[in-house]
Amino acid sequence: MTVQKNGDRMVRTVQEDITGIRVIKALSKTEHESGKFGGIASDLASSEFRAQRVMSLTNPLTSLIFNLGLVAVIVAGAFLSAEAGDITGFLTYFIIVLNAMLGISRIFVILSRGMASAERIEKVLALDEHEKIEEHPAGDRAFAVEFKDVSFSYGGDKEHLTGISFALKKGASLGIIGPTGCGKSTVVNLLLRLYDVSAGAVYVDGQDVRSLPSEELRKKFGVVFQNGYLMASSIRENIDYGRDLPEEAIKRAARCAQAEEFIKELPEGYGHDLAQKAGDLSGGQKQRLLIARALAASPEIVVLDDSSSALDYATDAALRRALQREYAGTTRIVVAQRVSSVKNCDLILVLENGSVTGAGTHETLMKTCPEYRAIAETQMGEAV
Ligand SMILES: Nc1ncnc2c1ncn2[C@@H]1O[C@H](COP(=O)(O)OP(=O)(O)OP(=O)(O)O)[C@@H](O)[C@H]1O
Ligand SMILES: [Mg+2]
């Protein structure tokens, strides 16, 4: 058990160190990390050593018992003056039975190792996959997305969202802005029902998200999460993501996401194989591929969580114009830190500490919401 756990710790550390190698080098933490690795490796070595010591004792012990048994059979046979054939036959049976017993004891060793691994797998399998579909009253079908007095907590005493309400018509755009940690990504999580609300309700197309099968719900969305993930495969496969989309849809999405230009410059274009974690692309290029992936299946609702932050202002503006033009019927939700990214949205929510402190268009908020005005004014110099 301990051996298995220490082995697991070691594999995890090696994995973390390899993925985080740049950070470790940049922070000159190589010595710290190798010290940590050394500690874990010696823990593993000593638990393996202890286990082997017990094993090395049990092996000769079982051989001794085994051979003593053989001697006992022969001696008993001699005393009972049995036939040589009988003794040999008995010995053969004796060896077969003993071998089977040894096999059983080996199974116990494998079983205890397996149990340590199974415990961890069990933890993952036991996670609730939210497939609980419950009956809930429907909302207003006129809205593509509606939050009705939603409160939510990830756990503990703190409430991470408090009394959030807004409604968005089909084809309209919503901007969410606010300081870091105010709950913007949490709104996105609730919309996709990655978590369930503590109070209130979230409606998509007039249906409570808790009354929809998750597959049906998530099919409506094209989402770029804040820390999107690109695979080490070709650009085409990364945009398509196993959905067998037509070539034209992939190209249209890449064009709209402002990714086409840099894809075309690559020698193999859409067939270019990305390095692991897209290490050969710039931050902005990665974001544009992730946006293309979200757009490619022409979803009803596009959600971009802080996914144009690495783009320069001109590219960001071109992206917004293309979205407006090419996906006009699509409902859009844009989470951003920049006023310029949400300025033209039909509705902008200003979040602070899990509550809405302002809601309206850019013009209204500039007049009525001091928090919004403050964000806008600090960014004025940056061509808001
Ligand atoms: N999985 C989680 N478990 C527990 N708390 C969480 C979890 N995710 C977020 N939080 C907490 O919820 C609050 C809101 O987080 P959220 O990710 O929604 O912020 P955000 O507005 O998206 O911030 P940012 O602009 O940095 O992305 C934070 O205080 C954060 O610590
Ligand atoms: Mg966030």
- Determine whether 73 is exposed, middle or buried from the number of CB atoms within 10 Å of its CB (0-12, 13-18, 19+): middle
Ligand 1 mean position to 186 CA, how many Å? 6
**What's the CA angle centered on 68, arms 65 and 73, to 5 degrees?**
125
**Which token pair is 229?**
């993930």
pLDDT of residue 128: 67
Instruction: Provide the residue range defining the domain that includes 105.
Output: 2-125
Ligand 2 mean position to 34 CA, how many Å? 33
Number of domains in the chain: 1
Indicate the pTM of the whole model. Answer: 0.75
Ligand 1 mean position to 129 CA, how many Å? 21
**Which token pair is 286?**
């990665």
How far is CA 291 from each of CA 81, 148, 254, 337, rounded to the nearest angstrom? Answer: 89, 28, 8, 17
**What is the tens place of the pLDDT at every residue in 226-279?**
888 888 889 999 999 888 999 999 999 999 999 999 999 988 999 999 888 788
Stronger pLDDT, 382 or 168, i.e. the higher one: 168
In a domain, 70, yes or no: yes
Residue 136 · residue 210 · CB < 8 Å? yes
Sequence length of the chain is 384
In a domain, 103, yes or no: yes
**What is the tens place of the pLDDT at every residue in 349-383?**
999 999 999 999 999 999 999 999 999 988 875 54
In a domain, 365, yes or no: no
Residue 130 · residue 190 · CB < 8 Å? no
**What is the tens place of the pLDDT at every residue in 171-220?**
999 999 999 999 999 999 999 999 999 999 999 999 999 999 888 998 99
**What is the tens place of the pLDDT at every residue in 24-47?**
888 878 888 889 899 999 999 999
Ligand 2 mean position to 139 CA, how many Å? 27
What number is the average pLDDT over the span 163-170? Answer: 95
Measured by CA distance, the residue closest to atom 4 of ligand 1 is 154
**What's the CA angle centered on 37, arms 34 and 40, to 5 degrees?**
155
In a domain, 150, yes or no: no
Measured by CA distance, the residue closest to atom 27 of ligand 1 is 180
Is 160 touching ligand 1 by the criterion CB < 6 Å?
yes
Distance CA 196, CA 202 (A): 9
Is 226 touching ligand 1 by the criterion CB < 6 Å?
yes
In a domain, 353, yes or no: no
Pocket test for ligand 1, best of 182, 304, 350 (most atoms within 8 A of CB): 182
Distance CA 360, CA 345 (A): 9
In a domain, 308, yes or no: no
CATH number for the domain that contains residue 56: 1.20.1560.10
In a domain, 9, yes or no: yes
Ligand 1 mean position to 6 CA, how many Å? 32
In a domain, 197, yes or no: no
